[in-house]
């Protein structure tokens, strides 16, 4: 069977970290209207990362305002105790950090048993070997391109070889798994990330600082990523 190296569909997903937290429902509607493919909720517990954001009730309050899928990026310790709360809040995808649980295989299995789609995340220093035995349980691997906890940080370009290595592993195994990158994704970095093999692109600051607005920012990132896929093919 020939290996499938064909480029995967580009998904643009905003982080809501830079959004106006006093009106998150409106902000979600604006993001959906701008053409995003999903919305990522950066869930932080102040332990796994030195920041604290939102719980399931905040997400649940926004769920009814939009139709796009929600994904919860669980930057939390012991994610096992919270999984069902985020599923019940309306998150279709749960992203569990490989570093956050002693029992990653069991945790990802619990996500699927709870009725959600499972994904796994890797901090910059964590090798892809940490997820090679759970790739069959996930639809996506998130390769962090910043150290998690805050928006507006600089893109860590040394993660690109890691994305390439992961892409090769996924293709070699014949798996249907997306690669997401998160942190410092902007018009200046998105092409390199897509060329390396990432097809789900999380952006926060870059979307909100575009002087031409959210819709332009989303379409510009998408076009740059798709062009890079074609060039890199
Ligand atoms: C890190 C956060 C950020 C955020 C996006 O924990 O998850 O990566 O989503 O940040 P910027 O502003 O770099 O797009």
SS3 91: coil
Question: What gap in Å lies between CA 68 and CA 76, rounded to an integer?
Answer: 24
- At 98, is the pLDDT very low, low, confident or very high (cuts 50, 70, 90)? very high
What is d(CA 141, CA 19) in angstroms, rounded to the nearest whole number?
25
Average of per-residue pLDDT across 60-70 = 98
The topology under which CATH files domain 14-232 is: TIM Barrel (3.20.20)
Residues 152-177 pLDDT 10s = 999 999 999 999 999 999 999 999 99
Ligand 1 centroid–CA 122 distance in Å is: 14
Query: What is the domain partition of the chain in residue ranges?
Result: 14-232
This prediction's pTM? 0.97
- Catalytic residue flag (residue 220): no
User: 222 CB contacts (<8 Å, ≥6 apart)?
Assistant: 10, 12
Cβ within 8 Å of residue 68, ≥6 positions away: 28, 31, 32, 36, 37, 38, 39
pLDDT score of 181: 98
**pLDDT tens per residue across span 198-208:** 999 999 999 99
Instruction: Say which of 182, 192, 210, 220 is annotated catalytic.
Output: 182
48 C-alpha vs ligand 1 centroid, how far in Å? 15
């Amino acid at each position: 069977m020939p290996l499938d190296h064909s480029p995967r569909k580009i998904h643009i997903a905003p982080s809501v970290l830079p959004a106006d937290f006093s009106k998150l429902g409106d902000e979600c509607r604006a993001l959906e209207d701008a053409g995003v493919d999903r919305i990522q909720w950066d869930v932080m517990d102040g332990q796994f990362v030195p920041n604290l954001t939102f719980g399931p009730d905040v997400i649940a309050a926004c769920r009814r305002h939009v139709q796009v899928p929600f994904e919860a990026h669980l930057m939390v310790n012991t994610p096992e105790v919270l999984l069902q709360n985020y599923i019940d809040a309306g998150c279709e995808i749960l992203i569990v950090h490989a570093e956050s649980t002693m029992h990653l295989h069991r945790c990802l299995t619990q996500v699927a048993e709870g009725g959600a789609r499972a994904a796994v995340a890797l901090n910059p220093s964590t090798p892809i070997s940490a997820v090679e035995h759970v790739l069959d349980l996930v639809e996506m691997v998130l390769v962090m391109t910043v150290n998690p906890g805050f928006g507006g940080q600089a893109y860590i370009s040394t993660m690109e070889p890691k994305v390439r290595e992961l892409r090769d592993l996924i293709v070699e195994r014949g798996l249907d798994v997306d690669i997401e990158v998160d942190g410092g994704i902007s018009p200046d970095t998105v092409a390199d990330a897509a060329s390396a093999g990432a097809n789900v692109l999380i952006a926060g600051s870059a979307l909100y600082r575009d002087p031409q607005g959210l819709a332009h920012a989303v379409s510009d990132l998408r076009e740059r990523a798709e062009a890079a896929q074609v060039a890199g093919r």
